[in-house]
Amino acid sequence: MPLYSRDHTWISLRGTRARIGISDFAQRELGDIAYVQLPDPGRSLARGEVACTVDSLKSSSEIYAPLSGTVVGANAALASEESCGLINRDPLGEGWLFELEPFAQGELDFLLSEEEYAAYIRGA
C-alpha cells in the first residue's frame, strides 16, 4: 500500500528501496504528460528538494523528493515522449519515476496513508 506526500507523490517501499511516482490526482491535474526529466542515478536528494520535472501540455511541474536518499534508478521506460503517457495510464504502477536508497526511515512519519491523502486532496 503506497504512502503519499502533500506534494502529490506516492512512495512504495520495496525492501531497502523507495519507489516514487506522482499520484493519480497529480497526473489528472497536469493533463497529458509530454516529457519527464528524471534524476540521474547516484544523485543525493534531501526531502523537499526538486528531484525531477514533469511537463504536460498544460504546464511544467517540479517533483519534490518525499524522502532523503540516493537515486538508484530511474524509469527508463519514460525516456521517449510517446512513453511518457505511462504516467497518465498507470501513475501508481508502470508510470513510476525513480527509486531512492537508502532512505531516511524517520521521514516516513511525514507521509500520509491512502485515507489521509484522500482527505487531504478533498480539502485542497
Distance of alpha carbon 42 from alpha carbon 100, whole angstroms: 9
Q: How confident is the model at residue 124 (pLDDT cuts 50, 70, 90)?
A: low
Here the cell at position 92 is 501508481
User: Among 23, 66, 60, which Cα is nearest to 45's?
Assistant: 66
Q: Tell me the mean pLDDT in the region 10-28.
A: 95
For residue 71, what are the CA distances in angstroms to 26, 30, 82, 85?
A: 22, 24, 24, 22
Which residue range is the domain that position 61 belongs to? 3-123
Whether 103 has a pLDDT exceeding 90, the answer reads: no
> Which three cell numbers, joined as nine digits, stand for 41?
542515478
Q: Is the pLDDT confidence value at 31 over 90?
A: yes
How many domains does the structure of the chain reveal?
Answer: 1
Q: Average pLDDT over the chain, rounded to whole?
A: 94
- Report the CATH number that the domain containing residue 31 is assigned in CATH: 2.40.50.100
Record the pTM: 0.94
End-to-end CA distance of the chain: 22
Segment 11-29 shows an average pLDDT of 95
